[in-house]
Amino acid sequence: MSVFRGLSAFPITPADPMGRADAAALRTLLQRLRIAGVDSVGLLGSTGGYAYLNRTERQRILEVALDEIGGAVPVIVGVGALRTDEAQALATHAGGAGAAGLLLAPVSYTPLTEDEVYQHFAAVTEASDLPICIYNNPSTTHFSFSLPLLERLAQLPGIGAVKMPLPADGDFGAEIARLRDALPAGFVIGHSGDWGAAASLLAGADGFFSVAAGLLPEPFLRLGRAAMAGDAAQTGRLDAAFGPLWELFRQFGSLRVVHMATGILGLTEAQPPRPILPLPETERERVVAALAALEAI
């Protein structure tokens, strides 16, 4: 079974203003995910601030995570980087350290062509034997994968999944059908953008890559398991309880919201990496209320 199937939890990376991770706080976050029983942990995704950390720190963070939960929960690690050689080095280290899979986004300053992205991915597949999930996140990378490019990448060894943004038209079923028709059998199709989790999983996605699962794994797992089982009524009830949190995510971006929420929960006082500013204190009551709405589900 692919490591990318199921419900993957993406936690923040607690770090100081200099980008040094707080290993103890990270271990606390990871313990919660292990105890809850998430299917995998997505370390150093966008919510994990990978783009704001240097290679040495990213490698140390992975080693801490694997020491804490390796062997108990599969760890997927983000290896996106501006330079191809940097992404290759991160991928090679991840394989040697014991990660279960890689998440690769086409990070760039200069806009990339499709051939440049293809060659970038091909080079990373040569650096590691770990399975790779394509990270299609145009809101941050400003690159959107076309269907022909996904078809081409799916032929590379090791590339077996795609993490898609929410479809602009909201038609998850049609998008998943198009992808299944074009991609090899068994290729894993999942989404991110937590307010779309219920619709994505009810429509038949193979998994979901969730920020909320990294913060509140138990309630999110109840939502995700209900949706994957096709229980629309239960999914709707649970999704409604998440509504206040989804609204905050849409308005402010999940990274800012989750940092404040981890502080409210007493898990870490770490702030987002600058230049990203913390969520305004005027929104604290809304975050408290959103967390309270999920306590009873």
Read off the pLDDT of residues 182-226 as tens digits, 9 standing for 90 and up. Answer: 999 999 999 999 999 999 999 999 999 999 999 999 999 999 999
Give the CATH number of the domain where residue 216 resides: 3.20.20.70
Q: Is 142 part of any domain?
A: yes
Tokens of 1: 């079974």
Q: Is 127 part of any domain?
A: yes
E-strand stretches of the chain? 6-9, 40-43, 75-78, 101-104, 132-135, 159-164, 188-191, 207-210
Mean pLDDT over 76-105 rounds to 98
pTM equals: 0.97
Read off the pLDDT of residues 145-194 as tens digits, 9 standing for 90 and up. Answer: 999 999 999 999 999 999 999 999 999 999 999 999 999 999 999 999 99
Residue 37 pLDDT level (bands cut at 50, 70, 90): very high
- Asked if 135 is an active-site residue, the reply is yes
Q: Is 166 part of any domain?
A: yes
CA dihedral 36, 37, 38, 42 (to 10 degrees): 80
- Asked if 52 is an active-site residue, the reply is no
**Which candidate in 52, 109, 118, 163 is catalytic?**
163
Other C-beta atoms closer than 10 Å to the C-beta of 153 total 21
Instruction: State the total domains in the chain.
Output: 1
Q: Is 255 part of any domain?
A: no
Q: Give the pLDDT of residue 297.
A: 83
Q: Is 264 part of any domain?
A: no
Q: Give the pLDDT of residue 19.
A: 92
Q: Give the pLDDT of residue 204.
A: 98
Given a cut of 80, whether residue 253 has pLDDT beyond it is yes
CA distance 99 to 97: 6
By CB atoms closer than 10 A (0-12, 13-18, 19+), residue 97 is middle
**Is there a contact between 146 and 177 (Cβ–Cβ < 8 Å)?**
no
Q: Give the pLDDT of residue 55.
A: 97
CA distance 184 to 169: 25
Q: Is 237 part of any domain?
A: no
**Nearest alpha-carbon partner for 48 in 88, 5, 8:** 8
Q: What is the mean pLDDT of the chain?
A: 97
Q: Is 258 part of any domain?
A: no
Tokens of 189: 């199709």
**Is there a contact between 217 and 38 (Cβ–Cβ < 8 Å)?**
yes
Contact partners, residue 154, CB within 8 Å, separation at least 6: 160, 183, 184, 187
Query: Where in the sequence is the domain holding 216, given as residue range(s)?
Result: 6-232
Given a cut of 90, whether residue 1 has pLDDT beyond it is no
Q: Is 109 part of any domain?
A: yes
